[in-house]
Amino acid sequence: MKTRLGILEVDHGLPTPATRRKLYDELDFQRAVQGVIWAEPAINNALFQRAMVNAGVPNLGAMVYDKRMHPGQETLTPNQSVIYLYDTINLADTGPVVHIVPEAPINAGFFDMWMRPVLDFGTVGPNKGRGDRILILPPGYTGEAPEGYLVPPGPEKEANWLPAPAGSFDVHLRTYVPQKALLDGSYKLPPIVRANSGSD
């Protein structure tokens, strides 16, 4: 059969050795591309963090651009409509940190190293630009959080979360090169629980 990979040949319903090699090569290529795409945010942030250290920005310090972004700058997802501020917080060194946002038309948020949103604040946050007091707790923190603060959810509270539509939906498991436990039926899928649904 003709495909974008070229001719794929089947013998008695099974791919020929040459076709199998071609398909495995394509699988390797596709997984490599997916690996680069998925790792790009974390690598970008790691390099950005290193650059901030090289520029002398300390833990709990910040860096503000003096000009708007332009096409020659190497960073992910910038736009030319805002002046960017980046700060760095290593909670392993600082412990809990309070982040105070003044009442102002600020549109901002916290993101993890994978560029996943952790908490929106400012005009897009729960206080709608009227000012925020945010308490950032380190992983594994077991103390009580005082009242009157926004507390971003920690990674241990939101592990492997996925946004889901209202109402019922189906969950499908997709595997690559399944191991013995999946093939013999001994693998048990972890329970799926509703998180932050706003209802019981």
Q: What is the pLDDT of residue 151?
A: 87
Q: Would you say residue 120 lies in a domain?
A: yes
Same domain? For 98 and 48 the reply is no
Contact partners, residue 72, CB within 8 Å, separation at least 6? none
Same domain? For 49 and 99 the reply is no
Q: What is the pLDDT of residue 200?
A: 37
Q: What is the pLDDT of residue 195?
A: 60
- Cβ atoms of 76 and 40 within 8 Å: the answer is yes
Q: Would you say residue 44 lies in a domain?
A: yes
Q: Would you say residue 181 lies in a domain?
A: no
**Rounded to whole angstroms, how far apart are CA atoms 100 and 87?**
13
* Domain assignment of residue 16, given as a range: 1-56
Predicted TM-score (pTM) of the model is 0.57
Measured in residues, the chain has a length of 200
Domain termination site, one of 31, 56, 81: 56
Total domains present in the chain: 2
Q: Would you say residue 96 lies in a domain?
A: yes
Same domain? For 52 and 95 the reply is no
**Rounded to whole angstroms, how far apart are CA atoms 51 and 138?**
23
HEC readout, the chain: CEECCEECCEECCEECHHHHHHHHHHHHHHHHHHHHHHHHHHHHHHHHHHHHHHCCCCCCCEEECCCCCCCCCCCCCCCCCCCCEEECCCHHHHCCEEEEECCCCCEEEEECCCCCEEEEEECCCCCCCCCEEEEECCCCCCCCCCCCCECCCCCCCCCCCCCCCCCCCCCCCCCCCCCHHHHCCCCCCCCCCCCCCCCC
- Cβ atoms of 110 and 76 within 8 Å: the answer is no
Q: Residue 131's domain is classified under what CATH number?
A: 2.60.40.1610
Q: Would you say residue 188 lies in a domain?
A: no
**Rounded to whole angstroms, how far apart are CA atoms 96 and 139?**
10
Q: Would you say residue 165 lies in a domain?
A: no
Domain termination site, one of 152, 168, 195: 152
Q: What is the pLDDT of residue 63?
A: 83
- Cβ atoms of 150 and 125 within 8 Å: the answer is yes
Same domain? For 94 and 147 the reply is yes
Q: Would you say residue 35 lies in a domain?
A: yes
Same domain? For 102 and 51 the reply is no
Per-residue pLDDT for the chain (200 aa), expressed as one digit of tens each? 888 888 889 888 888 999 999 999 999 999 999 988 888 888 888 888 888 889 888 888 888 888 888 777 777 777 787 777 778 788 888 888 898 888 888 878 888 777 778 888 888 888 888 889 999 888 778 888 888 898 887 654 444 445 555 667 666 666 666 678 878 888 877 777 666 544 33
Domain termination site, one of 56, 79, 98: 56
Q: Would you say residue 71 lies in a domain?
A: no
Q: What is the pLDDT of residue 157?
A: 46
